[in-house]
Amino acid sequence: MKNELYGKDILDLTELTTEQLKAIITLAIAMKKNPAHYADSLKGKILGMVFAKASTRTRLSFEAGILQLGGHAIVLNSQDSQIGRGEPIKDTANVMSGYLDGIMIRTYADADVAELAAHSTIPVINGLTDLHHPCQCLADLQTIYEWKGTFKGVTLMYIGDGNNVAHSLLIGGAKVGLNVAVVSPQGYEPAADIVAKAKELAEATGAVITVTDKPETVIGSTDFIYTDTWASMGQENEKAAKEAVFLPDYQVTAAMMAAAAPDCKFMHCLPAYRGSEVTAEVIDGPQSIIYQEAENRLHAQKALMLTLMSAEA
């Protein structure tokens, strides 16, 4: 059967239907259970990886993933290529399309990724931008499904800065029917247009989308508590100012975990800063599933690459 997502771009998860998103998650779980079955699925395929931002999990998951599927990866750091010297994105896109089978880019401006996709004839994957982190969300959804076996009736509370991770969780959660509550201090809420889009998408799946500055209004029904560093890459100079606003009410503590559902799990996309957004007691404790979540980046990225880069996936 022809793969309808072959050659498509994934910039913020709105490109996927609910069924397509769930199919990628199902495929990721299958690939995790039986990696040998997929060993030559992308044999001979080449993924170009463009990095304007530092990376650990994104680079490792994509590079290891394409190798495990029989393909190859070529890494371009923006400062080591013509991209960093101001080559027009249109030219870069057309040239890369002639050499490669797919592009993953991790950068700042969403507009740059959209322009790259507009001029490429091969699939472009957003590996992280200032507004979106769709690849992280795929791994997060996979992790939640592995624990619950469903998204219906499950609630994830994201607490902290309304950043790119929060945005993707809102979109992805709404798509699959996961209830998502984003809890942020006033002035640090997720973007209003992304919240509106998530609520629109949620109408079709029955997901409940909540944005509030009061953790106590949602904590009791929460199955997963998720946080991220308060100062994202490029915002390190804001760290002290944000800590003054976020501490102590928006820090994930043992007391917060105890107030949630009895089997509530803790999630974090990493890197984490113990003592800031989360206490060491929580992130290193028995409720933490951060390393399962991190490993799932590999499986989710493999499923995404296979879906976009193979006509028969």
Report which secondary-structure segment, H or E, holds 303. helix 290-309
Asked if residue 204 is part of any domain, the answer here is yes
Question: Does 247 share its domain with 288?
Answer: yes
C-alpha 297/C-alpha 290 separation (Å) is 11
For residue 292, the Cα-to-chain-centroid distance in whole angstroms is 14
Rg (CA), the chain: 19
- For residue 182 the two structure tokens come to 């984003």
- The confidence score (pLDDT) of residue 86 equals 81
193/217 same-domain check: yes
Ramachandran angles phi, psi of 271, nearest 5°: -70, 150
Q: Is residue 1 part of a domain?
A: no
Whether residue 55 is annotated as binding a ligand: the answer is yes
Are 86 and 211 in the same domain?
A: no
287 in a known ligand binding site:
no
pTM of the model: 0.97
Is the Cβ–Cβ distance between 123 and 309 less than 8 Å? yes
Asked if residue 151 and residue 113 are part of one domain, the reply reads no
pLDDT of residue 82: 78
Q: Is residue 5 part of a domain?
A: no
Is 233 annotated to bind a ligand? Reply is yes
Asked if residue 265 and residue 141 are part of one domain, the reply reads: yes
pLDDT at 115: 97
Pair 106, 59 in one domain: yes
The answer to whether residue 13 is domain-embedded is no
289 & 305 share domain: no
Please tell me the distance from the alpha carbon of residue 206 to that of residue 224, in angstroms, as a whole number.
Answer: 18
68 and 183 share one domain? no
Same domain as 176, residue 140? yes
Is 264 part of any known ligand binding site? no
My answer on whether 81 and 206 are in the same domain is no
Are both 142 and 260 inside the same structural domain?
A: yes
What positions carry a catalytic annotation? 106, 133, 136, 228, 269, 297
Q: How many residues does the chain have?
A: 313
Give pLDDT, residue 234. 65
Task: Name the residue range of residue 114's domain.
Answer: 18-133+297-309
Task: Indicate the Cα dihedral angle 304, 39, 106, 89, nearest 10°.
Answer: -90
Averages of pLDDT over runs of 10 residues in the chain (313 residues) are 88 98 98 98 97 94 98 89 82 96 97 97 98 98 98 98 98 98 97 98 98 96 96 75 95 98 97 97 98 98 98 83
Domain count, the chain: 2
